[in-house]
Amino acid sequence: MKSLTEYLFFHTPKRRELVNITQKIADLVSKSEVREGLCLVSAMHITAGIWVNDDESGLKQDFLELLDRLAPEGDYRHHQTGEDNGDAHLKRTLVGHQTTFPITEGRLDLGPWEQIFYAEFDGRRQKRVVVKIIGE
Amino acid sequence: MKSLTEYLFFHTPKRRELVNITQKIADLVSKSEVREGLCLVSAMHITAGIWVNDDESGLKQDFLELLDRLAPEGDYRHHQTGEDNGDAHLKRTLVGHQTTFPITEGRLDLGPWEQIFYAEFDGRRQKRVVVKIIGE
Amino acid sequence: MKSLTEYLFFHTPKRRELVNITQKIADLVSKSEVREGLCLVSAMHITAGIWVNDDESGLKQDFLELLDRLAPEGDYRHHQTGEDNGDAHLKRTLVGHQTTFPITEGRLDLGPWEQIFYAEFDGRRQKRVVVKIIGE
């Protein structure tokens, strides 16, 4: 069995941002030399997620607006700790914080429009994503 | 390490449909001859998901109504591209587009009521699901 | 390839409860002797999920309130079967019922605030979570 572990670092200028990381993940799959296996991509900070969808600007805005509608900014009990990012914790929960991708014949096996996004909901500080590849 | 990669194709007559694929996945696990491992089931098109729950008709309707309440049909920015399926992209996001199942002693290791559904939100055209099994 | 399969049992006194299982999962990773691999944690009952977030009491309440807002208790079609837990099925759907964790250098590779919760939405009876570890 082969494996590869890498960490991607993010420090987005805006509080909320969708960063397309598809090429980065594809490059790590190549680097791993795994031909058949699985690639886990997981946000390690609890106010960020991983979203797999089309890289279309209207859709990305629709997505962020959906999350704002379901988990709006506002007063949360969590803010009694001094934080102000309660909505970001909940948004990450609704999006999901990780995705596992198949690796087939040495390549990331994505659908025709699947793009991988790091979804930041409380940026402007350093965050991390773990990429774990296993297979052979 | 053993692996198996298969693609399931769907072309549902209705726009929204829940298709129970539990037996198909179980058959692929048998075919793989993996005794201990993982089985990833992932919708490759960005308007479909994978749902794991009970195959009970009332519940399936409750589930579709929940999604219609949270991400209704309507005017989305994505529709400026000529598409009309913005809600389907968002529904897939809320359901999740993939699940990983354990394989134990050569069998899909499901709970007593867990059934696996392909959840189509924009059917009437060909779509694909990837099944990736690794283990030994 | 090494593998380990274990089942965790829960019987929560309350209908809804978040049970921190981080240490239990870390212990199973140690027991598996896997150095590099993946650890799948999946709720086998369809009214429970797995949530990964901060163990902060206000946030946990915010999370349960979000779910109550999006999928409230009430009249569901599913209740025509005699059940009264329609909301629990939907809450599990929104949270997600499983998470895959990386194992790196023999340890559960979590972010600094990531804690793993068993999220029970219809307790007061025995439930099960499967933990499947593969790697080497």
For B32, phi then psi, to 5°, come to: -70, -25
pLDDT-above-70 percentage for chain A? 100
- Kindly report the CATH number assigned to the domain that includes residue A7: 2.60.120.460
Minimum-distance CB partner of B77 among A58, A70, A96 = A58
Please state whether the predicted TM-score (pTM) of the whole model is above 0.90. yes
Q: Which of C100, C94, C106, C95 is nearest to C131 (CA)?
A: C100
Predicted pLDDT of residue C41: 98
ipTM, two decimals, is: 0.97
Q: What is the pLDDT of residues B21-69, one digit of tens each?
A: 999 999 999 999 999 999 999 999 999 999 999 999 999 999 999 999 9
> What is the count of residue pairs from B and C with beta carbons less than 8 Å apart?
91
Q: Are C99 and A93 a contacting pair, CB within 8 Å?
A: no
**Nearest-by-CA chain A residue for C1:** A1
Chains with 3+ CB–CB pairs under 8 A to C are A, B
Predicted pLDDT of residue A29: 98
Q: Which of B97, B10, B110 is nearest to B50 (CA)?
A: B97
Predicted pLDDT of residue B105: 98
Predicted pLDDT of residue B80: 97
Q: What is the pLDDT of residues B63-103, one digit of tens each?
A: 999 999 999 999 999 999 999 999 999 999 999 999 999 99
Q: Exposed, middle or buried: residue B123 (CB in 10 Å: 0-12, 13-18, 19+)?
A: buried
Q: What is the pLDDT of residues C80-107, one digit of tens each?
A: 999 999 999 999 999 999 999 999 999 9
Contact residues on chain B for C5, CB-CB shorter than 8 A = 36, 102, 104, 109
Q: Which domain holds residue B91?
A: 2-135
Minimum-distance CB partner of C63 among A44, A90, A128 = A90
Predicted pLDDT of residue C57: 98
What's the domain count of chain B? 1
User: B15 pLDDT band (50/70/90 cuts)?
Assistant: very high
CB contact under 8 A, C100 and A42: yes
User: C9 pLDDT band (50/70/90 cuts)?
Assistant: very high
Query: What is the mean predicted confidence (pLDDT) over C7-29?
Result: 98
Query: What is the mean predicted confidence (pLDDT) over C69-79?
Result: 97
Q: How far is CA B83 from CA A64, A65, B95, in A?
A: 18, 18, 21
**Nearest-by-CA chain B residue for C74:** B62
Which residues does chain A have with pLDDT short of 50? none
Predicted pLDDT of residue A82: 97
Contact residues on chain A for C110, CB-CB shorter than 8 A = 44
Contact residues on chain C for B53, CB-CB shorter than 8 A = 46, 89, 92-93
Report the phi/psi class of residue A9: left, alpha or beta, with left for phi > 0 and alpha for psi in -120 to 50. Answer: beta
Predicted pLDDT of residue C104: 98
* Chain centroid to CA A120: 8
* Chain centroid to CA B7: 12
**Residue C19: count of CB within 10 angstroms of its CB:** 16
Contact residues on chain A for B44, CB-CB shorter than 8 A = 110-112, 114
